A = this chain, B = another copy of it.
């Protein structure tokens, strides 16, 4: 493909991408593809072509074979998982990144790639109101690095945490470094290590523990405590580990868990963690962390009504008012909630963490992948991960004046991902990023209001968790389960299969979540009430599956501590109140139909 052919091809690709975006934004394209597993193989040749094909041969296959097999994450009907935004400035970033291709494993391999990364990560550390300790120019040697995903960020810091722990213990023992006796002593200590996280933490901590070859144990949470780690539970888990001969070296705390956006209260947990200074504290803020770009999130206090330092929250239009702009409340109903349920945050709180990650590629308008990892001490990473063979040596690296990000991550090579971040941040401006977060939070609040306050919502559903960050978790109300089904008794799936599956794993005995005492308590007992609970869970999952089968709307169900529920979050650039209202209507209609069919089936 020569320059002229590329120009033509790229212009055609741009028109196709614009048209695709318009089709997706309109919500007319079904969000889920209407295809069966294996759909693509019959449409493509069995082998690579022997001879060159022109773009005129290639491009039509995108519309014919690829687009029909896409799940459209930019659709306003995409309300599953968390959003994964894509924006035009991001696409431009990837174009240049590909043109400037360099597996930029060290500074010399493409200085601009390294230096722009350092600068935009400092920009974002400030924009997200993170502690100065996480900036590249902090006296303690902190800094940020772009990882491909939160799971990579987490396994990277787990390896650093493991090595830091082992070496600190060996140092405390006075073992000379290096020495065979130190090595042997560390080898004996290694299999005792245990990584901790809430039982709500994303599965990447469990997977990270497998990769790092350590145990993983969870701190139990409860619905009463909004599924957030409580100080007592943390302390007793640590003590139990130690009693069992395990040595905790690492903990993931979450700012916005995957299932319900629970926030582990670092400000309350810090006094306990300070008693165990060798435990590496990592904050996984993969989704919710980008909300910290808004002062009302970043400087939240324990007060019910969060505000920035002036008590003034700018609206979408940038005009200060005394609170986030809300749709007018329906008559005779309580007003829409403001973004409550926020725990104290801000630099002082995050200063208790050794590391912090948040994904710009979820909510903050940068296309996948762009996961920011901030660390307090780069030395802890590089001393675990640095390897410099002869062919990677150069005088710049030797000088110590440059950053070689290869030592901050698992892979050697890396893409020029800072470009798309730079383009997005400049195209939107910090105020534009805040406006996006606030607008989509408001969209989520509209859905929450419908579930909580509409006649249908109150009749059919219960909201399960304190809503925050635009995510609403709700399920069919046990009280809404038709009485004739309760009379039938246990005809539905027991909770043992469809519930409590979070964090269960197969395979390796290492990395296995160690069973907590009392874990069985949450299981429903065999009473009529329990059966209503079971049915509420089953129907909730069934509603999501029925909706997803239709392909018009994509939701996720989740399940924890005896409750299966519907998760709705809608944070991409095309999200709107209109679409969540339609989604709610579909959830209501589907729930009624699921209940009707269950009654019908129970009659024979």
Which one of B100, B182, B204, B501 contacts A70 once the chains associate, using CB atoms below 8 Å?
B100
A290 interfacial by beta-carbon distance below 8 Å: no
A276 interfacial by beta-carbon distance below 8 Å: no
Contact yes or no, B17 A429, CB < 8 A? no
Q: Which residues of B are found within 8 Å of A116, using beta-carbon distances?
A: 40, 66, 69
**A103-B149, A119-B40, A506-B386 known; A391 and B98 CB under 8 Å?**
no
- In the bound complex, what is the Cα–Cα distance between A471 and B85 (angstroms)? 43
Contact yes or no, A399 B368, CB < 8 A? no
Q: Which residues of B are found within 8 Å of A503, using beta-carbon distances?
A: 387, 389
Name the 9 nearest CB pairs between A and B, nearest first: A69-B112, A86-B101, A187-B191, A6-B88, A40-B115, A213-B213, A48-B123, A390-B559, A183-B509
Interface membership of chain A positions 498-521, coded 1 if the CB is closer than 8 angstroms to chain B and 0 otherwise: 000111111111101000000000
A528 interfacial by beta-carbon distance below 8 Å: no
**A49-B429, A186-B509, A203-B387 known; A395 and B545 CB under 8 Å?**
yes
Contact yes or no, A368 B103, CB < 8 A? yes
Contact yes or no, A7 B13, CB < 8 A? no
Contact yes or no, B391 A430, CB < 8 A? no
A339 interfacial by beta-carbon distance below 8 Å: no
- In the bound complex, what is the Cα–Cα distance between A38 and B111 (angstroms)? 9
**A47-B123, A89-B1 known; A567 and B162 CB under 8 Å?**
no
Kindly specify which of A232-240, A420-428, A594-602 makes contact with the partner chain.
Answer: A420-428
Contact yes or no, B501 A390, CB < 8 A? yes
A198 interfacial by beta-carbon distance below 8 Å: no
Contact yes or no, B508 A167, CB < 8 A? yes
Contact yes or no, A411 B14, CB < 8 A? no
Which one of B71, B113, B387, B415 contacts A102 once the chains associate, using CB atoms below 8 Å?
B71
Q: Which residues of B are found within 8 Å of A426, using beta-carbon distances?
A: 48-49, 52-53, 57-58
Contact yes or no, A148 B413, CB < 8 A? yes
Q: Which residues of B are found within 8 Å of A3, using beta-carbon distances?
A: 18, 21-22, 88
Which one of B20, B33, B556 contacts A391 once the chains associate, using CB atoms below 8 Å?
B556
**A37-B396, A97-B94, A411-B152 known; A53 and B190 CB under 8 Å?**
no
This chain: copies in complex: 2
- In the bound complex, what is the Cα–Cα distance between A545 and B115 (angstroms)? 22
The bracket for how many chain A residues form the interface is 35 or more
A589 interfacial by beta-carbon distance below 8 Å: no
A29 interfacial by beta-carbon distance below 8 Å: no
A99 interfacial by beta-carbon distance below 8 Å: yes
Which one of B51, B73, B92, B567 contacts A10 once the chains associate, using CB atoms below 8 Å?
B92
Identify 12 residue pairs between A and B in the complex whose beta-carbon atoms are under 8 Å apart, listed by A's number.
A2-B88, A10-B88, A41-B118, A58-B422, A71-B102, A91-B98, A149-B413, A368-B415, A369-B413, A387-B503, A390-B557, A390-B560
Q: How far is the CB of A152 from chain B (nearest CB, A)?
A: 5
- In the bound complex, what is the Cα–Cα distance between A111 and B369 (angstroms)? 18
- In the bound complex, what is the Cα–Cα distance between A447 and B35 (angstroms)? 53
Which one of B81, B124, B148, B390 contacts A148 once the chains associate, using CB atoms below 8 Å?
B148
Residue of B with least CB distance to A85: B101
Contact yes or no, A109 B71, CB < 8 A? yes
